[in-house]
C-alpha cells in the first residue's frame, strides 16, 4: 500500500514554515536540504523536517495540506509542538 505524506519544514524553531505533500518523504526532504525542493525553501533556508503525517489516499493528503496551509501560524506551531516540542529535525529518523 502506498502512503502519501503531509509535512512541515521550518528554517529554525519559530522560523519560516513550509507545508508540502509527497509520496516519498525521505526523498522529498533530501531535495529540500540540497536546494532542489522549491525556490521558497531554498531562498529562506527552510529544510528542517519538524512534522509529518501519512495518508493512504492522495486526495486525503492534499485536502489536509490545503487545510494546514490556510491555518493561522499559531495553529501550525501548536501542531508542531504537540509532536515535536524541541523542533528537532526528524529527517535523520526517516533513514534510521
Does pLDDT of 31 surpass 90? yes
Please state the domain count of the chain: 1
pTM above 0.85, yes or no: yes
CATH assignment of the domain containing 71? 3.40.1440.10
Residue-wise pLDDT for 42-94, tens only, equals 999 999 999 999 999 999 999 999 999 999 999 999 999 999 999 999 999 98
The per-residue pLDDT for 24 is: 96
> Residue 37 — pLDDT band, cuts 50, 70, 90?
confident
Instruction: Give the domain extent around 56.
Output: 4-94
Residues with Cβ < 8 Å from 80, sequence gap 6 or more?
Answer: 8, 10, 50, 51, 87
Amino acid at each position: 500500500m502506498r502512503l502519501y505524506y503531509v509535512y512541515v519544514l521550518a528554517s529554525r524553531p519559530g522560523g519560516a514554515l513550509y507545508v508540502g505533500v509527497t509520496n516519498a518523504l525521505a526523498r522529498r526532504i533530501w531535495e529540500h536540504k540540497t536546494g532542489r525542493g522549491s525556490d521558497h525553501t531554498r531562498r529562506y533556508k527552510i529544510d528542517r523536517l519538524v512534522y509529518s503525517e501519512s495518508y493512504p489516499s492522495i486526495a486525503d493528503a492534499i485536502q489536509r495540506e490545503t487545510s494546514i496551509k490556510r491555518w493561522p501560524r499559531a495553529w501550525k506551531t501548536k501542531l508542531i509542538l504537540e509532536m515535536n516540542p524541541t523542533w528537532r529535525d526528524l529527517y535523520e529518523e526517516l533513514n534510521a
